[in-house]
Amino acid sequence: MIAERYINAVVLLGLLVVPSYALMVDEPFTITLATRAVVLALAAVGLNIALGTGGLVSLGHAVFFGLGGYAMGILAFHAQTYAPLSLGIFEIGGTKSMPIIWLVAIVVSALAALAIGLLSLRTSGVYFIMITLAFGQMFYYFAISWSAYGGEDGLSIYLRNDFPGLNTLQPMPFFGLCLALLCLALILHWRLLLSPFGLALNAARQAPQRVETVGLNPMRLRLVAFVISGAVTGLAGALFADLNRFVSPTMFSWQLSGELIVLIIIGGVGRLFGPVLGAILFVVLEHWLGAVTDFWHVWLGVILLLIVLFARGGLLGLLTGKEGPHV
């Protein structure tokens, strides 16, 4: 069996080497695929903080993904049309600057996570799963009928947004940005796991009564985890929108929430690199199975089933021979 840190190192190395090789042999599409994997991984890292560490099975994380996407879409749309965005009493101009867009995406999704968390965390178990799903559906239907920003058609951004000093229109620099942000998020999660907060959150998942009897409030721990989680997933949403130069209500769909959970499970739940490995595997499967058969969803389903039934720790569990945290 292989130690987890070696696997993590190989995964990171692979994320550097494969796109670089693709750049050399002029296969830019491979870089696009790798970017997709990295951005999905970032979204799933966000979810993993709530789900893997906090034990919060959220079937509504697409809300934050979508909010991040629309933060990008709306700001860039106003910049593209030179029409200021009116917020009641004051107006702000749109922007094509990635750092500002990211900040807005993070703040907006964190606020949404705070509101949704305050309401949903009163429930637990299946009820929590279902109420998060319900919030996802609300945002989905709202986005579909919000014609000012394209409704179901979504919003197209003709050119990718800018980052100071980089040509983001080239696949490689944009990939680099996404990878850097993924690494930051991984470091964030890692430090959280080692922190007092991580210790308490981890315990709150396994034995909430214990956490209460030492004088801590599990609800507040979970709320903070949910907000951080939503913010990271929101950032991923903004990047995903920039990758596609497009946002639409499908970013809010419950299938997307389901897919984010799938990524975490096939990689290994509650493990730092679980979502990364899961996202890579998912993109490869999607691409490779999709090329072999029209009915690739059947096989994706079968693979998922096998993992749930026989490989409880996901791919990382298989490779390291250790089960991960139980959620």
Instruction: Report the site for another protein in 10-69 (rule: CB under 8 A).
Output: 27-30, 32-33, 36, 51, 57, 59
Identified binder of another protein from the candidate list 18, 103, 114, 254, rule CB under 8 A:
254
Residue 72 interacting with another protein (CB under 8 A): no
Among 97, 183, 250, 311, binds another protein (CB under 8 A): 250
Tokens of 171: 């696949």
Pairing mode, if any, of strands 246-247 and 155-156?
A: antiparallel
321 binds another protein (CB under 8 A): no
Residue 311 is a binding residue for another protein (CB under 8 A): no
In a 3-state reduction of DSSP, which class is residue 155?
Answer: strand
Residue count (the chain): 327
Q: Which stretch binds another protein (CB under 8 A): 84-92, 99-107, 146-154, 173-181?
A: 146-154
Q: How far is the CB of 240 from another protein (least distance, A)?
A: 7
Strand (E) or helix (H) holding 91: strand 90-92
Instruction: Report d(CA 252, CA 235) in Å as an integer.
Output: 14
- Residue pointed to by tokens 């995406």: 105
Return the residue of 258, 285, 311, 318 that touches another protein, per CB under 8 A.
Answer: 258
- Taking the complex as a whole, how short is the minimal distance between the CB of residue 10 and another protein, in angstroms? 25
Identify the residue among 103, 111, 137, 318 touching another protein (CB under 8 A): 137
Q: Give 167's DSSP letter.
A: -
Residues 159-188 that bind another protein (CB under 8 A): 171
Pick the closer one to another protein by CB: 41 or 200: 200
- Any contact of residue 261 with another protein (CB under 8 A)? yes
CB of 206 to another protein, least distance (A): 4
Residue 320 CA neighbour count, 13 Å, CB half: 20
- How far apart CA 217 and CA 309 sit, in angstroms, is 34
Among 7, 75, 223, 300, binds another protein (CB under 8 A): 300
d(CA 187, CA 181): 10
